[in-house]
């Protein structure tokens, strides 16, 4: 689908021979914090990098905030759950959550109100991001480190 | 009344990386798998009052384990505290950078014969941060990097 927003998806996961899924780097600390706090389980962790660097950031007197958008997802055999967060360090706020099996049940989380930014995403833009990922779930695949198996997709990867 | 507890380190260096007693090690491995993160900190909390974070089920006193599972290297240092109830109930998490303790929503909703309030949970976490000599912190990861 045509989306007006331009963004890259950055992968923070590795697998070895389709097992031993590991999360890496700063987003993995955020994922751990969310898992403990909420009780949700996740098996996909990516961050987004918008072409417009001011999206979901706030100008400060001496620079710009270093918030980063995170997608924490759970891929199961028959469904895909996406949750979108704005993180800072190992903490963050939920923006929206959706199951692929319930396309009509899309809502912005109350906590999105607490995200202070000069360029917030609109509900339509967030929905576009979700639809884009639902249509291309392979962008969420972990980097395969296994010997003798080919990575299954050709998405951009940033190995940890 | 002051909360009385002690910390028992469970990890030691073995032939193939870390080793610990079967039950806490198995539990920690499952949690590690759930978090998709390795661990190199595993320690038990012994509360002097054995009603703390236990239940009475049909007259039987439960024997839940209370375990710190965490990780430290030059880049990150975090601790999570768990009750070995069912698949594992997380009590909370803290990062060394700010030492702020976050309790889980599951813990806040849970019931035990005696529950730690958020100040007491914080006390246990801060004790571990303040006494690194009581937990062996390794440089070997589980799962080991082969």
ipTM for the predicted complex comes to 0.90
Please list every residue in chain A whose beta carbon sits closer than 8 Å to the beta carbon of residue B76: 29
For residue B139, what pLDDT is reported? 45
A contacts of B35 (beta carbons < 8 Å)? 23, 31-32, 35
Question: B105 and A39: CB-CB below 8 Å?
Answer: yes
Distance CA A126, CA A143 (A): 25
β-pair partners for A2 = none
Cα–Cα distance between A58 and A13 in angstroms, integer?
Answer: 28
Over range A126-138, report the average pLDDT: 95
Asked whether the beta carbons of residue A33 and residue B93 sit closer than 8 angstroms, the reply is yes
Per-residue pLDDT of chain B (146 residues), as tens digits, is 789 999 998 887 766 666 777 789 999 999 999 999 999 999 999 999 999 999 998 888 999 999 999 999 889 999 999 999 999 999 999 999 999 999 999 999 999 999 999 999 999 999 999 998 887 665 444 555 43
**B51: helix, coil or strand?**
coil
Give percent of chain A above pLDDT 90. 82
pLDDT at A147: 62
Model pLDDT for residues A23-67, shown as the tens digit of each residue:
999 999 999 999 999 999 999 999 999 999 999 999 999 999 999
What's the token pair of residue A124? 């339509």
Q: Looking at the partner chain, which of B78, B105, B143 has a beta carbon nearest the beta carbon of A29?
A: B78
Q: Nearest-CA distance from A3 to chain B in Å?
A: 32
Chain B environment of A34 (Cβ under 8 Å): none
For chain A, give the mean pLDDT. 90
Q: Are A70 and A87 in contact (CB under 8 A)?
A: yes
Q: Measured between CB atoms, which of B37, B90, B105 is closest to A23?
A: B37
Q: Judging by DSSP bridges, how do beta strands A7-11 and A80-88 pair with one another?
A: unpaired
Whole-number pLDDT of residue B135: 79
Q: What is the pLDDT of residue B22?
A: 78
pLDDT given for residue A153 in this prediction = 46
Closest CA to A123 of A135, A110, A107: A107
Q: Compute chain A's Rg from CA coordinates.
A: 16
DSSP E strands in A68-133: the ranges are 68-75, 80-88, 91-99, 107-108
**CA A133/CA A138 separation, integer angstroms:** 8
A32 interaction partners in chain B (CB closer than 8 Å): 35, 37, 78, 80, 93
pLDDT given for residue A157 in this prediction: 47
């Amino acid at each position: 689908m045509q989306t007006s927003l331009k963004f890259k998806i950055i992968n923070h996961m590795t697998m070895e021979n389709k097992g031993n899924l590991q999360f890496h780097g700063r987003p993995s600390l955020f994922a751990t914090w969310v898992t403990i706090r909420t009780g949700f389980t996740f098996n996909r962790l990516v961050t987004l990098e918008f072409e417009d660097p001011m999206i979901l950031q706030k100008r400060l007197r001496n620079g710009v905030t270093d918030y980063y958008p995170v997608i924490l997802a759970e891929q199961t055999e028959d469904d895909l759950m996406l949750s979108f967060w704005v993180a800072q360090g190992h903490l963050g706020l939920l923006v929206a959550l959706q199951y692929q099996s319930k396309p009509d049940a899309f809502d912005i989380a109350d906590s999105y109100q607490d995200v202070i930014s000069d360029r917030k995403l609109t509900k339509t833009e967030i929905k576009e991001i979700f639809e884009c990922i639902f249509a291309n779930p392979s962008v969420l695949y972990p980097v395969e480190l296994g010997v003798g198996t080919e990575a299954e997709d050709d998405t951009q990867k940033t190995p940890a | 009344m002051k909360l009385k507890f002690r910390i028992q380190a469970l990890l030691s260096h073995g032939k193939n990386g870390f080793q610990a007693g079967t039950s806490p090690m198995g539990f920690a491995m499952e949690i590690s798998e759930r978090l998709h993160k390795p661990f190199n900190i595993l320690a038990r909390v012994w509360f002097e009052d054995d009603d703390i974070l236990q239940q009475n089920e049909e007259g039987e006193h439960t024997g839940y384990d209370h375990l710190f599972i965490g990780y430290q290297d030059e880049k990150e240092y975090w601790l999570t505290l768990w009750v070995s109830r069912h698949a594992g109930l997380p009590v909370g998490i803290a990062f060394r950078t700010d030492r702020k303790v976050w309790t889980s929503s599951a813990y806040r909703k849970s019931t035990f014969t005696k529950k730690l309030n958020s100040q007491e949970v914080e006390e246990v976490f801060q004790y571990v941060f303040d006494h690194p000599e009581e937990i062996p912190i390794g440089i070997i990861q589980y799962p080991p990097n082969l």
